[in-house]
Structure 1
Protein backbone atom coordinates (compact mmCIF):
# COMPACT_ATOMS: atom_id res chain seq x y z
CA UNK A 1 0.00 0.00 0.00
CA UNK A 2 3.00 2.33 -0.31
CA UNK A 3 2.07 3.10 -3.89
CA UNK A 4 -1.07 5.02 -2.95
CA UNK A 5 0.77 7.86 -1.10
CA UNK A 6 3.15 8.12 -4.06
CA UNK A 7 0.22 8.58 -6.47
CA UNK A 8 -1.34 11.18 -4.18
CA UNK A 9 1.93 13.12 -4.04
CA UNK A 10 2.35 12.96 -7.82
CA UNK A 11 -1.24 14.10 -8.33
CA UNK A 12 -0.75 17.08 -6.01
CA UNK A 13 2.48 18.05 -7.82
CA UNK A 14 0.77 17.78 -11.22
CA UNK A 15 -2.13 19.94 -10.05
CA UNK A 16 0.29 22.60 -8.77
CA UNK A 17 2.18 22.62 -12.09
CA UNK A 18 -1.01 22.76 -14.16
CA UNK A 19 -2.33 25.68 -12.10
CA UNK A 20 0.85 27.73 -12.45
CA UNK A 21 0.62 30.14 -15.37
CA UNK A 22 3.59 30.63 -17.63
CA UNK A 23 4.33 34.31 -18.25
CA UNK A 24 3.64 35.48 -21.80
CA UNK A 25 6.86 36.61 -23.46
CA UNK A 26 5.50 37.68 -26.84
CA UNK A 27 3.08 40.19 -28.37
CA UNK A 28 0.51 39.51 -31.09
CA UNK A 29 0.36 41.79 -34.14
CA UNK A 30 -2.67 41.42 -36.45
CA UNK A 31 -2.82 43.29 -39.76
CA UNK A 32 -5.84 43.14 -42.08
CA UNK A 33 -6.53 44.41 -45.56
CA UNK A 34 -10.17 45.36 -45.83
CA UNK A 35 -11.69 45.89 -49.24
CA UNK A 36 -13.06 49.38 -48.61
CA UNK A 37 -9.91 50.90 -47.11
CA UNK A 38 -7.61 49.83 -49.94
CA UNK A 39 -9.62 49.31 -53.15
CA UNK A 40 -6.73 48.67 -55.59
CA UNK A 41 -5.99 45.21 -56.99
CA UNK A 42 -2.27 45.16 -56.16
CA UNK A 43 -0.90 42.83 -53.52
CA UNK A 44 0.66 44.60 -50.54
CA UNK A 45 4.03 43.56 -49.17
CA UNK A 46 4.39 43.82 -45.40
CA UNK A 47 7.98 44.28 -44.26
CA UNK A 48 8.96 43.71 -40.62
CA UNK A 49 12.46 44.92 -39.73
CA UNK A 50 13.10 45.40 -43.51
CA UNK A 51 12.30 41.74 -44.32
CA UNK A 52 9.27 40.74 -46.40
CA UNK A 53 7.04 38.98 -43.85
CA UNK A 54 3.69 38.71 -45.68
CA UNK A 55 1.90 39.38 -48.95
CA UNK A 56 -1.65 40.64 -48.39
CA UNK A 57 -4.46 40.39 -50.94
CA UNK A 58 -7.89 42.00 -50.57
CA UNK A 59 -9.89 40.68 -47.62
CA UNK A 60 -6.93 38.89 -46.02
CA UNK A 61 -5.41 39.23 -42.55
CA UNK A 62 -2.13 38.02 -41.06
CA UNK A 63 -0.97 37.67 -37.47
CA UNK A 64 2.46 37.40 -35.92
CA UNK A 65 3.74 36.38 -32.49
CA UNK A 66 6.64 38.79 -31.97
CA UNK A 67 9.10 39.52 -29.18
CA UNK A 68 8.39 42.64 -27.14
CA UNK A 69 10.27 45.80 -28.04
CA UNK A 70 10.60 48.15 -31.01
CA UNK A 71 9.34 47.07 -34.43
CA UNK A 72 9.81 48.74 -37.81
CA UNK A 73 7.05 48.21 -40.42
CA UNK A 74 7.00 49.21 -44.09
CA UNK A 75 4.31 48.61 -46.72
CA UNK A 76 4.64 48.48 -50.50
CA UNK A 77 2.85 47.19 -53.59
CA UNK A 78 3.89 43.88 -55.14
CA UNK A 79 3.12 42.36 -58.52
CA UNK A 80 3.55 43.07 -62.21
CA UNK A 81 2.57 46.03 -64.39
CA UNK A 82 1.20 48.99 -62.45
CA UNK A 83 1.69 47.07 -59.18
CA UNK A 84 5.42 46.67 -59.71
CA UNK A 85 7.27 48.53 -56.97
CA UNK A 86 9.04 51.63 -58.22
CA UNK A 87 11.78 53.68 -56.67
CA UNK A 88 9.43 55.46 -54.31
CA UNK A 89 10.46 55.76 -50.70
CA UNK A 90 8.27 53.48 -48.59
CA UNK A 91 6.97 55.13 -45.45
CA UNK A 92 8.15 53.47 -42.26
CA UNK A 93 6.07 53.15 -39.10
CA UNK A 94 7.63 52.29 -35.78
CA UNK A 95 5.76 50.45 -33.02
CA UNK A 96 6.70 49.37 -29.53
CA UNK A 97 5.23 46.01 -28.53
CA UNK A 98 4.78 44.86 -24.96
CA UNK A 99 4.63 41.24 -23.79
CA UNK A 100 1.07 39.91 -23.65
CA UNK A 101 -0.27 42.74 -25.83
CA UNK A 102 -2.54 42.21 -28.86
CA UNK A 103 -2.36 45.03 -31.43
CA UNK A 104 -4.69 45.17 -34.44
CA UNK A 105 -4.17 47.34 -37.54
CA UNK A 106 -5.72 47.70 -40.96
CA UNK A 107 -4.17 48.96 -44.18
CA UNK A 108 -5.05 52.37 -45.57
CA UNK A 109 -3.80 54.56 -48.40
CA UNK A 110 -3.33 58.31 -48.48
CA UNK A 111 -1.44 60.86 -50.56
CA UNK A 112 1.83 59.77 -48.91
CA UNK A 113 1.26 56.07 -49.73
CA UNK A 114 0.28 53.03 -47.69
CA UNK A 115 0.07 53.15 -43.90
CA UNK A 116 -1.47 51.35 -40.91
CA UNK A 117 -4.45 52.48 -38.82
CA UNK A 118 -4.79 50.95 -35.36
CA UNK A 119 -8.18 49.34 -34.69
CA UNK A 120 -9.52 49.09 -31.15
CA UNK A 121 -9.63 45.72 -29.40
CA UNK A 122 -13.14 44.68 -28.36
Structure 2
Protein backbone atom coordinates (compact mmCIF):
# COMPACT_ATOMS: atom_id res chain seq x y z
CA UNK A 1 0.00 0.00 0.00
CA UNK A 2 1.36 3.37 -0.99
CA UNK A 3 0.76 6.48 1.22
CA UNK A 4 0.82 9.92 -0.33
CA UNK A 5 3.71 12.21 0.88
CA UNK A 6 1.35 14.86 2.39
CA UNK A 7 -0.31 12.15 4.44
CA UNK A 8 3.09 10.93 5.71
CA UNK A 9 3.93 14.47 6.84
CA UNK A 10 0.62 14.73 8.68
CA UNK A 11 1.14 11.37 10.40
CA UNK A 12 4.67 12.35 11.48
CA UNK A 13 3.47 15.68 12.88
CA UNK A 14 0.70 13.92 14.83
CA UNK A 15 3.28 11.53 16.28
CA UNK A 16 5.27 14.48 17.70
CA UNK A 17 2.27 16.13 19.41
CA UNK A 18 2.72 14.30 22.74
CA UNK A 19 6.33 15.57 22.91
CA UNK A 20 5.21 19.12 22.19
CA UNK A 21 2.39 18.98 24.71
CA UNK A 22 4.89 19.24 27.58
CA UNK A 23 6.83 22.06 25.93
CA UNK A 24 6.35 25.53 27.37
CA UNK A 25 5.69 28.42 25.00
CA UNK A 26 8.27 31.18 24.86
CA UNK A 27 7.85 33.81 27.55
CA UNK A 28 5.99 36.83 26.22
CA UNK A 29 6.85 40.10 27.97
CA UNK A 30 3.86 41.76 29.58
CA UNK A 31 3.46 45.02 27.68
CA UNK A 32 0.35 46.23 29.46
CA UNK A 33 0.48 47.12 33.11
CA UNK A 34 -2.36 46.13 35.38
CA UNK A 35 -4.59 49.07 36.35
CA UNK A 36 -3.28 48.85 39.93
CA UNK A 37 0.28 49.53 38.75
CA UNK A 38 -0.44 52.51 36.51
CA UNK A 39 0.30 56.02 37.71
CA UNK A 40 -1.13 59.37 36.66
CA UNK A 41 0.65 62.44 35.42
CA UNK A 42 -1.47 65.62 35.50
CA UNK A 43 -0.10 68.67 33.68
CA UNK A 44 -1.95 71.99 34.04
CA UNK A 45 -1.52 75.29 32.29
CA UNK A 46 -2.23 78.62 33.97
CA UNK A 47 -4.82 80.88 32.30
CA UNK A 48 -2.57 83.86 33.02
CA UNK A 49 0.43 82.45 31.17
CA UNK A 50 2.35 85.12 29.22
CA UNK A 51 2.06 83.11 26.01
CA UNK A 52 -1.21 81.84 24.52
CA UNK A 53 0.51 79.29 22.25
CA UNK A 54 -0.27 75.62 22.82
CA UNK A 55 2.55 73.63 24.36
CA UNK A 56 3.23 70.10 23.13
CA UNK A 57 4.17 67.42 25.65
CA UNK A 58 6.11 64.40 24.36
CA UNK A 59 6.88 61.43 26.60
CA UNK A 60 9.83 59.57 25.17
CA UNK A 61 8.95 59.04 21.53
CA UNK A 62 5.39 57.88 22.13
CA UNK A 63 2.92 60.48 23.33
CA UNK A 64 2.46 63.93 21.84
CA UNK A 65 -0.28 65.96 23.49
CA UNK A 66 -1.00 69.69 23.09
CA UNK A 67 -1.83 71.62 26.26
CA UNK A 68 -3.87 74.77 25.46
CA UNK A 69 -3.92 77.81 27.72
CA UNK A 70 -5.99 77.24 30.87
CA UNK A 71 -6.36 73.49 30.25
CA UNK A 72 -4.91 70.37 31.85
CA UNK A 73 -4.17 66.86 30.64
CA UNK A 74 -4.04 63.57 32.52
CA UNK A 75 -1.89 60.70 31.28
CA UNK A 76 -1.81 57.18 32.67
CA UNK A 77 1.73 55.81 32.68
CA UNK A 78 3.69 52.90 34.05
CA UNK A 79 5.72 53.86 37.12
CA UNK A 80 9.35 54.83 36.71
CA UNK A 81 11.43 57.58 35.16
CA UNK A 82 9.99 59.32 32.11
CA UNK A 83 11.67 61.76 29.75
CA UNK A 84 9.42 64.72 28.96
CA UNK A 85 10.02 67.10 26.06
CA UNK A 86 8.10 70.37 26.05
CA UNK A 87 7.89 72.56 22.96
CA UNK A 88 5.73 75.33 21.54
CA UNK A 89 3.26 73.98 19.00
CA UNK A 90 4.30 75.34 15.60
CA UNK A 91 1.85 77.25 13.48
CA UNK A 92 0.41 80.73 13.05
CA UNK A 93 1.66 83.31 15.53
CA UNK A 94 3.59 80.63 17.40
CA UNK A 95 5.63 79.46 14.41
CA UNK A 96 8.38 82.00 15.17
CA UNK A 97 8.89 80.76 18.75
CA UNK A 98 11.48 77.98 18.74
CA UNK A 99 11.40 77.07 22.40
CA UNK A 100 11.76 73.60 23.88
CA UNK A 101 12.98 71.95 27.05
CA UNK A 102 13.57 68.39 28.16
CA UNK A 103 13.37 67.13 31.71
CA UNK A 104 12.98 63.88 33.58
CA UNK A 105 10.10 62.94 35.90
CA UNK A 106 10.00 60.08 38.40
CA UNK A 107 6.58 58.55 39.05
CA UNK A 108 5.96 56.07 41.86
CA UNK A 109 3.61 53.06 41.34
CA UNK A 110 -0.10 53.81 41.68
CA UNK A 111 0.51 57.50 42.41
CA UNK A 112 -0.63 60.79 40.90
CA UNK A 113 1.90 63.56 40.20
CA UNK A 114 0.75 67.13 39.50
CA UNK A 115 2.79 69.61 37.48
CA UNK A 116 2.22 73.17 36.32
CA UNK A 117 3.46 74.01 32.84
CA UNK A 118 5.45 77.23 33.25
CA UNK A 119 6.58 79.68 30.57
CA UNK A 120 8.87 82.22 32.22
CA UNK A 121 11.85 84.30 31.09
CA UNK A 122 11.95 82.52 27.72
CA UNK A 123 12.05 79.14 29.47
CA UNK A 124 9.53 76.34 29.33
CA UNK A 125 9.40 73.77 32.16
CA UNK A 126 7.23 71.67 34.46
CA UNK A 127 7.05 72.77 38.09
CA UNK A 128 5.86 70.21 40.66
CA UNK A 129 2.59 71.06 42.42
CA UNK A 130 1.45 69.80 45.80
Q: How many residues end up aligned between the 2 structures?
A: 97
Q: 1:113 maps to which residue?
A: 123
| 2:90 pairs with one of 69, 79, 85 | 79
Distance 1:23 1:85 in 2: 41
Task: Structure 2: state its 5+ residue gaps.
Answer: 1-33
> What are the residue-to-residue correspondences of 1:43-122 with 2, within 5 Å?
43-84=54-95, 90-111=100-121, 113-120=123-130
Task: Structure 1: state its 5+ residue gaps.
Answer: 1-21
Query: SS at the partner of 1:84?
Result: helix
Q: What is the Cα deviation at residue 87 of structure 1?
A: 5.5
TM-score, with normalisation over the residues of structure 1? 0.69
Matched, 1:25 2:37: yes
* Root-mean-square deviation (Å): 2.2
Higher CA-based Rg: 2
Q: 1:8 maps to which residue?
A: none
Q: 2:19 maps to which residue?
A: none
Distance 1:52 1:28, change over 3 A: closer
Q: What is the Cα deviation at residue 81 of structure 1?
A: 3.6
